[in-house]
Amino acid sequence: MNQKNNNRYTHILITVGAIIVIILGGFLIFQHHNASKLAAQEKFNKTHFNPNVTIYNVKVGGLTKAKAYTKVNQKAKNKATLENTKLSFSKTEKEVISKKEINQYFKKQHTRYTSNKNYNYENVALNTAEQKLNAIKNRQLTYHIDSKSYNFERSELLPKVSYYEGQYQFENVEPLKKKIESINKKVTTFHKSYPFKLPDGKTITVKNESYGWAINTKHLIPAVEKAFIDGKKEIQGKNYIYGLGFSTYGTGYGMSNNGIGDTYIVVSLKQQKVWFYKKGKKVLVLNDVVTGTAAKNPRTQTSDATPTGVWYIEYKQSPSVLRGLNDDGSSYASPVKYWMPFTISGCGFHDASWRTDWSKTAYLKGGSHGCVNVKPSEIKKVWDVVEEMEPVIIYNK
């Protein structure tokens, strides 16, 4: 090989070698740069979310756990509300997500090096709230009361309801309250006047006093709410009524004879006489009782006059001590064997061993403090036939 060719060959080798050196150098530089870049990514990803991460519809890509926690709690919704039939979402002042939950989501999406994969973590509680509200959106039920039925629609009577922290919250009960009050005016028997047939066959008009019932709005509203929640189709109004006087449950609901039924007591103030009926049959008559001292003016009543109207036997007690004030202001305590009150103020049936005047006119000037005095010899018969909650009809004829 001549000198010229040798020089050419040497030049080629040098050139190739230089190229190889350059390539190797570049590769080493690239590798070093890439390693540095990956190391930087690895370091960054240890404390920051990947780029395409969404938590509760809030983008947190590239944020630290602390910043993600703050952002999600500032912007994420955590309360669902149904107004009529429109569903909306809002945020309360309470914490939407905890630091512990943020940390759990961070671990789930964490990669050693940056990943462009989409990570979407939904608010399960809010999704549940949406499902719960959609479930009751179109619910309705039938409310039965006093042989009548009324249709209750959720969207009309409870138009705004939210679901939050695992519970329904009815935010506007006024339409339901007004509906119930409207129905109550039609069906309540409180202070209702109606015709009543006396033992002698005559018919008079009597008025409920403590006797009767009304819708217990306070108890019915939550019952209706629960019925909508549970998907019930009917609700029985008789379970949500109340009464006056001693009983809080109401009297006469669903009974015939204007709620009186066929078991009752009739007291005539003018005749000073009492009739007792059981299942429509007269079982006892007291011809000589003494009621409260009559008013001087027949159109008025003294504090001692036995009140007219329809009442009921509140309870039975044997023995008992009757306590109160005399007309002169002094107090009294009268032991009796049998006590059956029919007013909260203290009027009732009881024996009066101290009484000597049992005439038909005794009540005009020397009557009781409002009670119906019964002869000691007859009181046990009264005790045996009288029932608690039994209506007592008192009239002044």
Q: Is the pLDDT of residue 196 over 60?
A: yes
For residues 257 and 300, which has the higher predicted lDDT (pLDDT)?
A: 257
The mean pLDDT value for 383-390 works out to 98
The answer to whether residue 193 sits within a structural domain is yes
Q: Looking at the 3D structure of the chain, how many domains does it have?
A: 3
Statement to judge: residues 63 and 124 lie in one domain? yes
Is residue 104 included in any domain, yes or no?
yes
Mean pLDDT of all residues in the chain? 92
60 occurs within a structural domain: yes
CATH number, position 274: 2.40.440.10
What confidence score (pLDDT) does residue 37 get? 83
Q: Tabulate helix, strand, coil % of the chain (nearest 5).
A: 30, 30, 40
Tell me, yes or no, whether 268 and 388 share the same domain: yes
| Same domain, residue pair 276 and 390 | yes
Q: With cut-offs at 50, 70 and 90, classify the pLDDT of residue 177.
A: very high
Same domain, 42 and 80: yes
Given a cut of 60, is residue 24 above it in pLDDT? no
Mean pLDDT of 131-157: 97
Note the pLDDT of residue 397.
Answer: 85
pLDDT reading at 18 higher than 90: no
Of 128, 149, 177, which residue constitutes the final position of a domain? 128
**Judgement on whether residues 45 and 79 belong to the same structural domain of the protein:** yes
Quick one: pLDDT band at residue 7, thresholds 50, 70, 90?
low
Please state the rounded mean pLDDT for residues 7-22.
64
Q: How confident is the model at residue 215 (pLDDT cuts 50, 70, 90)?
A: very high
Q: Is residue 221 located within the same domain as residue 319?
A: no
Distant-in-sequence contacts of 167-176, Cβ < 8 A, 24+ apart: 168/132, 168/136, 168/225, 168/229, 170/225, 171/81, 173/221, 173/225, 176/152, 176/221, 176/224
Average pLDDT over residues 110-129: 95
pLDDT top residue among 394 and 326: 394
- Whether 165 is covered by a domain: the verdict is yes
Give the mean pLDDT of 11-20.
64
- For residue 22, being part of any structural domain is answered with no
The confidence score (pLDDT) of residue 28 equals 47
Asked if the model's pLDDT at residue 300 lies above 80, the reply is no
Q: Which residue has the higher pLDDT, 184 or 36?
A: 184
Distance CA 232, CA 136 (A): 11
Q: Are residues 294 and 366 in the same domain?
A: yes
Which has the higher per-residue pLDDT, 122 or 38? 122
Mean pLDDT score, 82-103: 95
Q: Which of 187, 211, 242 represents a domain boundary (last residue)?
A: 242
Domain boundary among 242, 272, 299: 242
Higher-pLDDT residue of 305, 28: 305
Q: Does 374 share its domain with 283?
A: yes
d(CA 140, CA 231): 8
123 and 161 co-located in one domain = no
Question: Which residue did the predictor score with more confidence, 3 or 144?
Answer: 144
Residues 63 and 123 in one domain: yes
Give tens-digit pLDDT for 135-144. Answer: 999 999 999 9
pLDDT exceeds cutoff 70 at 280: yes
Strands 58-59 and 86-90 turn out to be: unpaired
Q: Give the mean pLDDT of 334-352.
A: 96
| Domain of 209, in residue numbers | 138-242
The answer to whether the beta carbons of residues 157 and 145 sit under 8 Å apart is no
Statement: residue 1 has pLDDT above 90? no
Mean pLDDT of all residues in 97-124: 96
Both 58 and 170 in one domain: the answer is: no
**How many angstroms separate the most distant Cα atoms in the chain?**
167
